[in-house]
Amino acid sequence: MAQVLEFKLPDLGEGLTEAEIVRWLVEVGDVVAIDQPVVEVETAKAMVEVPCPYGGVVTARFGEEGTELPVGAPLLTVAVGSSDSGSGPVSATGSGAAGSGPAEAESSGNVLVGYGTGAPAARRRRVRPEPVSARPATPVPVRSATPEPAAAAEAVRAEEVRGPVAVVSPLVRKLARQHDVDLRQVTGSGRDGLILRADVEAAIRAVTERTAVAAAPATVTAPLATAPRAALGAAGERIPLRGVRGAVADKLSRSRHEIPDATCWVDADATELMAARAAMNGAGGPSAGPKVSVLALLARICTAALAKFPELNSTVDPAAREIVRLRDIHLGFAAQTERGLVVPVVRDAQSRNVESIGAEIARLTESARTGTLTPAELTGGTFTLNNYGVFGVDGSTPIINHPEAAMLGVGRIVPKPWVHGGELAVRQVVQLSLTFDHRVCDGGTAGGFLRYVADCVEQPAVLLRTV
């Protein structure tokens, strides 16, 4: 007998609690292999493919393309195991090979998004099972090419979801606790009454409005309590803070709320740095490899500066009231994409030379533009380099990428009057700014770091003397 198994949106890690369905890779009735990608989703971090740990026939899908689902919500159901007709189990390759092992044997257990699976890569071509008319007439609980499996899947899932409160997301429960919302009094708008974050936020607004009405003079009526919101809606556009924009907003707000930051800055003469870059790129001739970028040179300078001032390659553990000095340098760099601002991470930057750092920056930048960065490539940074000069601005006070302790900002490099060798000359000048967590160090350390970076920019030979 075939068994219907439900595959739910797995825990995406890194605090991600929802994902948007971008594209289904399978249809109802398709035969899928174990660990075959079945849907492409977009999280606040990246666009990734979700592999299904079961092999069998897809009997139902939940959610249209463009729908946002919370972690733990059903994605699809798969019929696995053998049928009553004796045609054999539905295998990972879609064949009817003999055998009647338990359904659990048709699962890899691999469900993590973006990290791959342990089974061999499954083919991506959609495979259609034989038509129902060609199969034996003996009835079975699940028939993959008819609508009944979806109804059967609904019944199975309804049994699993049934409970006193239909809440999947821990973020929703936390939000309800913070605002004293009784989830038993909330009607869920999700499938099978699943309570979503929007439902809890609506309940919070309702309580707030009732409280405002009760506290207002008797002449104030209930409709006036919602007038400001209605007026705002009529005056302009409301844009939901979700996806990449929402994740960035949450992280920046947390940084400003938790980190007592300070900023120092300095102008530096980058003429010699630009000359060194030109010499490096011209040394190999036209057949040389990829050109060395200014960002790669600055990244290499940062790793040398962090080796001299390790206080800035750290994080704060507020619960333990400890500063955690980090051994390795995982250098993040800000990249603006069509999906928003992302910060890919060059791992183990302290062990890379300029060419290696440049190649990794180029690879990660291309992945950022195509939306294929994995969660692992977007997390774990210990220090961030922000080149806002590409936007044509000179200076900024960047917000620290929580939970890091510092960020170096780099403005545009432009010709400016500069005193060089005791005489006024036109030089290539850049403004450097350092925003740092004042808990990990004082101004002397931050100033020393920034001054060292500026010295390396003005005289690249300084870097050679310290490596």
Phi, psi of 240, rounded to the nearest 5 degrees: -60, 135
Q: Note whether 312 and 429 are same-domain residues.
A: yes
Domain endpoint, select from 235, 260, 275? 235
Q: Note whether 395 and 305 are same-domain residues.
A: yes
Average pLDDT, whole number, for the chain?
77
Query: Is pLDDT of 318 > 80?
Result: yes
Closest CA to 330 of 302, 358, 309: 302
Q: Note whether 147 and 16 are same-domain residues.
A: yes
3-state secondary structure of 361: helix
3-state secondary structure of 417: strand
Q: Note whether 201 and 321 are same-domain residues.
A: no
Which residues on adjacent β-strands are paired with residue 410? 387, 432
Q: For residues 371 and 120, which has the higher predicted lDDT (pLDDT)?
A: 371
Q: What's 157's domain CATH number?
A: 2.40.50.100
Phi, psi of 158, rounded to the nearest 5 degrees: -60, -35
Q: What's 292's domain CATH number?
A: 3.30.559.10
Give the pLDDT band (50/70/90) at residue 15.
low
- Cβ neighbors of 132 (< 8 A, separation 6 or more) are 143, 145, 146
d(CA 181, CA 213) in angstroms, rounded, equals 19
The pTM of this model reads: 0.57
Minimum mean pLDDT range among 8-22, 30-44, 145-159: 145-159
Q: Note whether 315 and 438 are same-domain residues.
A: yes
Domain endpoint, select from 188, 212, 235? 235
Minimum mean pLDDT range among 114-118, 240-244, 287-291, 304-308: 114-118
Q: Please tell me the predicted confidence (pLDDT) of residue 173.
A: 72
Helices 294-308, 271-283: axis angle to 10 degrees equals 120
Query: Is pLDDT of 237 > 80?
Result: yes
Q: Please tell me the predicted confidence (pLDDT) of residue 98.
A: 36
Q: Note whether 219 and 248 are same-domain residues.
A: no
Q: Note whether 42 and 22 are same-domain residues.
A: yes
Mean pLDDT of 299-309: 96
Name the DSSP class of 313.
S
Q: Note whether 183 and 331 are same-domain residues.
A: no
Q: Please tell me the predicted confidence (pLDDT) of residue 77.
A: 93
Mean pLDDT of 96-102: 39
Q: For residues 159 and 445, which has the higher predicted lDDT (pLDDT)?
A: 445
What type of residue is 378?
A: L
Q: What's 203's domain CATH number?
A: 4.10.320.10
The β-bridge relationship of strands 261-269 and 406-410 is unpaired
Q: What percent of the chain has pLDDT over 70?
A: 70
Residues 255-285 have pLDDT tens digits of: 999 999 999 999 999 999 999 999 988 876 5
Residues 326-346 have pLDDT tens digits of: 999 999 999 888 777 889 999
**Number of alpha carbons in the 13 Å side-chain half-sphere of residue 51:** 25
Helices 443-458, 271-283: axis angle to 10 degrees equals 50
Closest CA to 306 of 460, 431, 446: 446
Name the DSSP class of 394.
S
Q: Note whether 276 and 178 are same-domain residues.
A: no
Q: What angle do CA 33, 39, 42 make, to 5 degrees?
A: 145
d(CA 112, CA 89) in angstroms, rounded, equals 26
Whether omega before 403 lies within 30 degrees of 0, making that bond cis, reads yes
Q: Note whether 30 and 137 are same-domain residues.
A: yes
Q: Please tell me the predicted confidence (pLDDT) of residue 132.
A: 38
Q: Note whether 180 and 42 are same-domain residues.
A: no
DSSP codes of every residue in 140-209: -S--TTSSHHHHHHHHHHHHHH-SSS----HHHHHHHHHTT--GGGPPP-SGGGPPPHHHHHHHHHHHHH
In the chain, the number of structural domains is 3
Highest mean pLDDT: which of 41-45, 223-227, 290-294, 313-317? 313-317
Q: Note whether 338 and 371 are same-domain residues.
A: yes
Domain endpoint, select from 161, 187, 202? 161
Closest CA to 465 of 220, 351, 301, 342: 301
Q: For residues 90 and 331, which has the higher predicted lDDT (pLDDT)?
A: 331
Residues 178-196 have pLDDT tens digits of: 788 887 788 887 766 778 8
The range of the structural domain enclosing residue 372 comes to 244-466
Residues 416-443 have pLDDT tens digits of: 999 999 999 999 999 999 999 999 999 9
Residues designated catalytic: 438
